[in-house]
A and B are shown apart, each in its own frame.
Chain A
Amino acid sequence: MRLILVLVAAVSLALPARAEVQIQEVTSPGGITAWLVEEPSIPFVAIEILFKGGTSLDPEGKRGAVNLMTGLIEEGTGDLDAQGFAAARDSLAATFQFRAYDDAILVTAKMLTETRDASVDLLRQALVAPNFDQVALDRVRQQVLSSIRSEAQDPNAIASDRFDAMAYGQHPYATNPDGTEASVNALTRDDMVAAHAGALALDRVSVGVSGDISAAELGPMLDALLGGLPETGLPMPDHIVPTFDGGTHIVPFDVPQSVALFGHAGIEREAPDFFAAYILNEILGGRGFEARLMTEVREKRGLTYGVSSFLVGKDYTSVYMGQVASANDRIAEAIEVIRTEWQRMADAGVTDAELLDAQTYLTGAYPLRFDGNASIAGILVGMQADDLPIDYINTRNDRVRAVTVDDIARVASRLLDPDMLTFVVVGQPQGL
């Protein structure tokens, strides 16, 4: 499992009317589109920019290029070297983050109203014309290598790498997006330039903005900020059907507590039954102590501190996954309980009461997400990346409420496949 972009569709709802956020679609003179929520009460704006593709765009043999390139965006542009750029950003009191994920590069910015124009200009320079100085490249390369070496000794990262290698065959999802020590050592400045041109392009961008800015101000700002980027970038990767064998795979590692990931094929975000699957997961291994896995593995038996399951909707595949960690002499029992619960759900679905509880929670929790400029900007960009309509927030709750026990039973028998539920266990598990 990689860092999963949890931009889960804004699942919506009906609480007091003033909870409603008014989303405007703004198209710039240059043709760039953004979704905006105006909220002038605090004098700053939150901006979220998502470029689809992400680390999966790494060319053959260049694993880690997009990740390293993303790390270099803030390491110098124009006359500014890395420290000059940081000083310029700090003197505007703007904050910029650049992160690479399996399917996206995400840029998160906050800017004060009083320094907004200069902040936009600085961010533009970094996004459009990063220097990729050799000195900066070599320094950040060492940071990435340090992280790769650390992950090689981290049971969670080891489990993730093994799971991905097993599930995703020859697809980029199969390997660590940071790359290997060898691949990262081989990356050159030319690779950075190519990764930048291929990944930060206008044919794959979504923008969410929330805060102290009007639609009239935002249009020109979009052109100023992003207008210098190329129209098109690298082709997107292929879809991949993940493969599982239903086994329990052990990676020996000297830790007192075994760490396990488990999973099998999932369901696409676009599938008609997605909502039923989403609620099913909520009941089986979702939020809170009431989920069945948490109740059975932790609350009743004390076998773990945390167990959960989650639908992973990557852009080019879907898996249904979970995680658990238990002492080496207890992990076998935890896994047995999880397999039993998986089977029970597949066979019998959920009860009326469980469904109602989950629906009440999901519909009630939804408006609480829209609680600040930063969170709203993130939700706006996530909705666009998932191709949801702009009025989705108003209809979403009804779709959650429309799911029936029969829908879940149908999905449970199709989605859940206890024989294919595959475990990767890192540690020194006993009895497996």
Chain B
Amino acid sequence: MRKQLAWLAVMAVIGLTGGAGLPALAASDDQVTTFQLENGMDVVVIEDHRAPAVVHMVWYRAGAADEPPGTSGIAHFLEHLLFKATDTLASGEFSQVVGANGGSDNAFTSQDYTAYFQRIAADRLGLMMEMESDRMVNIRLTEDDILTERDVIIEERNQRTENEPGALFSEQRMAAQYLNHPYGIPIIGWRHEMELLDMDDALGYYQQFYAPNNAILIVAGDVDPAGVLQLAQTHYGPIPANPDLKDRMRPSEPPQTSERRLVFKDPRVAQPYVIRSYLAPERDSGDQETAAALTLFAELLGGGQTSHLTQSLQFETQTAVYAAAFYQSTALDDTTFGLVVVPSPDVSLQKAEDALDAAVADYLTQGVDEAALERLKFQLRAQDVYARDNVSSLANLYGRALTSGLTVKDVQAWPDILQSVTAEQIIAAGEMVLNDRRRSVTGWLTKPDDIQSQEDTE
């Protein structure tokens, strides 16, 4: 049995929950059609004619990491405010209309994107585009909206972060991981800055980033591409591009020359653990090989029951009740590769960390088991088949990639690149990332007195 431990939900998206298992890879090429409108808006159509439903999404190439300094949380706050009034819709009417048409809608914000979606009968697509294009440029906020909704996002922070020691710890670790880049700032925002977010902050972000030339329309389901294009031209086509849209240049990391170690103590911690992240390269357009090798490395090292960490730390030695490796391949800027170990009772955090280090070193020395690699590659090919069963997750896959600096071509090349990775490349990529501890942050989550008492028992 493999417990999905709640604190591992470090995946940085607010508004969506992560799924278990291997990620979806790509839709088959003949399923996907792309266009660009004259105003610069990209359009991706993913066909699936099995049910008369459609997912309509607009993704903005703007997320929390694009916020002006001092206004952390504004990208996500604005996402909430887009459900208020426009020139033609009353506050709340957007969702009401979606519901009255048998659909459901929501939105989510990450470091690199903000996305809005509806899932509805395919023949209502035009209505969705009419409303979504309206709120791209026509929101009308009141001071009351700002004050009430700000209370809501603070309650959201309470729920996601303040009530969860693991989430508070994660914020501190990310802040330590990124010395200069805004990935170190939480998506939901630092509480003291959230409390001061105002109308000007919201409208400033809106006017800067919400424009067709900064957006991607993704339509997935029972539609034909020509019909989608026609509707998109009707509804999104007339919106002028924002001529002042700038390249996404975030502050970048200086050389990281000093290993960081954190201890987070909280009386609510029931299960202490050690977690370490390393700065790591992400998928870049036309250059995805290293990220592909790291993706396979994470799976083989710590991605499941047959992985090396599970085998050595849970099966051979019972040092840990859980051990894993994780890697977030899709991001605009430098991402992280991580290791986590949850010690068995009576095993100290130091002992667990030492065992983790030894197991990783072992793996890098002994190399990749070819049979395991073949097994994994077959699973990844199967994942392409299973992925076609869920068109919403395919839509998400394209949205994440296209807001992270990748192209449709990159997305479709990714499965083949994964298949072509060799055992040597996997080890080389692993060594490159893991052998430089100076680019890492090691965190211990523990109860206030644990460390002392555990050292005493060693």
Task: List B contacts of A296 (CB < 8 A).
Answer: none
Residues of A within 8 A of B154 (CB): 327
Query: Given A303-B151, A372-B389, A90 and B379 touching (CB < 8 A)?
Result: yes
Given A146-B321, A305-B155, A364-B101, A254 and B268 contact (CB-CB distance below 8 Å): yes
B269 within 8 A of A: yes
Q: Which residues between 383 and 404 of chain A lie within 8 Å of chain B, taking CB atoms?
A: none
Q: Is A169 an interface residue (CB 8 A)?
A: no
Mark interface residues in A303-327 (1 if CB within 8 Å of B CB, else 0): 1111000000000000000000111
Is the beta-carbon distance between B158 and A146 smaller than 8 angstroms? no
CB-CB contacts of A93-112 with B at 8 A, as 1s and 0s? 10100100000000000101
Q: Which of B268, B342, B381, B390 has the most chain A CB atoms inside 10 A of its CB?
A: B268
Contact of B99 with A39 in the complex, beta carbons under 8 Å = no
How would residues 272 to 292 of chain A score, 1 for a CB under 8 Å from any chain B CB and 0 otherwise? Answer: 000000000000000111100
* Segment of A56-64, A137-145, A199-207, A339-347 engaged in the interface with chain B: A137-145
Chain A 7-30 interface 0/1 with B at a Cβ cutoff of 8 Å (1 = within): 000000001101100000000000
Let me know if A301 is at the binding interface, CB within 8 A: yes
User: Beyond A39-B50, A146-B271, A368-B53, is A139–B314 a contact (Cβ under 8 Å)?
Assistant: yes
Cross-chain contact of A259 among B147, B153, B163 (Cβ < 8 A): B163
- Quick check: is B103 within 8 A (CB to CB) of the other chain? yes
Selected interface stretch from A186-194, A224-232, A355-363, A411-419: A355-363
Query: With an 8 A cutoff between CB atoms, is A367 at the interface?
Result: yes
**B447, closest chain A residue (CB):** A153
Q: Which residues of B contact A72 (CB under 8 A)?
A: 1
A155 within 8 A of B: yes
Instruction: Point out the residues of chain A lying under 8 angstroms from B5, CB to CB.
Output: 147, 150
- Contact call A256/B158, Cβ cutoff below 8 A: yes
B52 and A87 contacting across the interface, CB-CB below 8 Å = no
Q: B321 — which chain A residues lie within 8 A by C-beta?
A: 142-143, 146
Contacts of A70 in B (CB 8 A): 1
Q: How many residues of A contact B (CB 8 A)?
A: 78
CB atoms of B149 and A290 under 8 A apart: no
99-137 of chain B: CB within 8 A of chain A? 99-104, 119-121
Q: Which one of B56-64, B254-262, B303-311 is at the interface?
A: B303-311
With contacts A19-B52, A93-B381, A112-B385 taken as known, whether A87 is within 8 angstroms of B162 at the C-beta atoms is no
Is A171 on the interface with B (CB-CB < 8 A)? no
Q: B residues within 8 A CB of A410? A: none
Q: Which of A180-219 contact B (CB under 8 A)?
A: none
Closest-CB distance, A356 to chain B (whole angstroms): 9
Contact with B along A348-384 (1 / 0, CB 8 A): 0000000001001111111110111110000000000
By a CB distance below 8 angstroms, the chain A residues around B383 are: 93
Interface positions of B from 351 to 408, Cβ below 8 Å from A: 372, 375-376, 378-379, 381-383, 385-386, 388-391
In the assembled complex, A152 has its CB within 8 A of some CB on chain B? yes
CA distance A367 to B53 in the complex (A): 8
Assess whether A44 is in contact with B148, with CB atoms less than 8 Å apart.
no
Binary interface profile of B, 267-298, with partner A (CB < 8 Å = 1, else 0)?
Answer: 11111000000000000000000000000000
B39 within 8 A of A: no
Bound-state Cα–Cα, A370 to B150, Å:
37
Question: At the interface, yes or no: A41 with Cβ under 8 Å from chain B?
Answer: yes
State whether A257 touches B159 (Cβ < 8 A).
yes
Say whether, besides A288-B99, A304-B152, A371 and B391 are in contact (CB < 8 Å).
Answer: yes
Q: Are A371 and B345 in contact (CB under 8 A)?
A: no
Q: Does B96 contact A (CB under 8 A)?
A: yes
Contacts of B306 in A (CB 8 A): 83, 86-87, 90
Query: Distance (Å) between the CB of A120 and the closest chain B CB?
Result: 16
* Contact partner, B1, options A19, A74, A372, Cβ 8 Å: A74
A42 near B104: Cβ-Cβ < 8 Å:
no
Is A18 in contact with B52, judged by CB distance below 8 angstroms? yes
Would you call B92 an interface residue if the criterion is a C-beta within 8 Å of the partner chain's C-beta atoms? Answer: yes
**Inter-subunit contact B99/A290 (CB<8 Å):** yes
* A325-B159 in contact given A290-B95, A360-B101 (Cβ < 8 Å): yes
Which one of A140, A153, A365, A371 has the highest number of Cβ atoms from chain B below 10 Å of its Cβ?
Answer: A371
Is B190 an interface residue, CB under 8 A from the partner? Answer: no
Complex contact A90–B158 (CB within 8 A): no
B155 with A361: CB separation less than 8 A: no
Contact check, A288 vs B158: say whether CB atoms are below 8 A apart.
Answer: no
Give complex CA distance A150, B154 in Å.
Answer: 25
Q: How far is the CB of B211 from chain A (nearest CB, A)?
A: 26
B158's partner among A145, A302, A327, A364 (CB-CB below 8 A) is A327
Docked complex Cα distance between A290 and B83 (Å): 12
Identify the closest chain B residue to A135 (Cβ): B315
Fill in one digit per residue for B30-64: 1 if any A CB lies within 8 Å of its CB, else 0: 00000000000000000000111100000000000
Chain B residues with CB under 8 Å of A290's CB are 92, 95-96, 99
A71 at the interface (CB under 8 A from B): yes
Task: Decide if B21 is an interface residue (CB 8 Å cutoff).
Answer: yes
* A5 interface residue per 8 A CB criterion: no
Cβ–Cβ < 8 Å partners of B158 in chain A = 256-257, 305, 325, 327
| Chain B residues with CB below 8 A from A300, complex form | 148
Closest residue of chain A to B393 (Cβ to Cβ) is: A372
B378, A91: Cβ atoms under 8 Å?
yes
Contact for A368 among B119, B152, B345, B372, CB less than 8 A: B119
What CA separation (Å) do A256 and B52 show in the bound complex? 45
Query: Quick check: A44 and B96 within 8 Å, CB to CB?
Result: no
Name A363's contact: one of B102, B153, B159, B375 (CB within 8 Å): B102
Give chain B nearest CB distance to A3 CB in angstroms.
12
| Contact in complex: B152, A302 (CB < 8 Å) | yes
Bound-state CA distance A153–B121 (Å) is 43
- B409 contacts chain A at the CB level, 8 A cutoff: no
Tell yes or no: A46 within 8 A of B by CB. yes
Q: Is B3 an interface residue (CB 8 A)?
A: yes
- Cβ of B242 within 8 Å of any chain A Cβ, yes or no, is no
Q: Does A239 contact B (CB under 8 A)?
A: no
Q: Is the CB of B50 within 8 A of A372?
A: yes
Q: Answer yes or no: B253 CB below 8 A from chain A CBs.
A: no
Whether the Cβ atoms of A43 and B385 lie closer than 8 Å is yes
Residue B6 is within 8 A (CB to CB) of chain A in the complex: yes
Query: What is the chain A residue whose CB lies nearest that of B379?
Result: A93
Contacts of A368 in B (CB 8 A): 51, 53, 102-103, 119-121
Q: Is the CB of B151 within 8 A of A302?
A: yes
- Alpha-carbon distance A260/B371, docked complex (angstroms): 50
B165 → chain A closest CB, angstroms: 8
A299 interface residue per 8 A CB criterion = yes
Chain B neighbourhood of A83, CB < 8 A: 305-306, 311, 315
In angstroms, Cα B310 to Cα A140, docked, is 13
Q: Is A405's CB within 8 Å of the partner chain B?
A: no
Is there contact, CB below 8 Å, between A139 and B155?
no
A357 touches B119 (CB 8 A): no
| Contact between chains at B104 and A86 (CB < 8 Å) | no
A250 within 8 Å of B (CB atoms): no
B436 proximal to A (CB < 8 A): no
Q: Please indicate the chain B residues that have their CB under 8 angstroms from the CB of A41 in the complex.
A: 50
Chain A CB within 8 A of B318 CB: yes
Known contacts A86-B305, A255-B163; A367/B104 CB under 8 A: no
Instruction: Name B152's closest neighbour in chain A (CB-CB).
Output: A302
User: Does A236 make an interface contact (CB < 8 A)?
Assistant: no
Determine if A86 and B304 form an interchain contact, defined as CB atoms under 8 angstroms apart. Answer: yes
Residue of B nearest to A89 (CB): B305
**Chain B min CB distance to A128 (Å):** 18
- How close is B383's CB to chain A, nearest CB, in angstroms? 8
- A9 to B305 Cα, complex, angstroms: 35
> In the complex, which residues of chain A have a beta carbon less than 8 angstroms from the beta carbon of B50?
39, 41, 371-372
**A298 close to B (CB within 8 Å):** yes
Other 16 A-B pairs with CB < 8 A, given A305-B159, A372-B51: A82-B315, A91-B375, A110-B386, A112-B385, A146-B271, A147-B3, A153-B270, A254-B267, A255-B163, A287-B99, A288-B104, A290-B92, A302-B150, A302-B151, A327-B154, A370-B51
> Would you give 8 A-B contacts (Cβ < 8 Å), ordered by A?
A90-B304, A91-B375, A93-B381, A143-B3, A289-B83, A304-B152, A364-B121, A371-B51
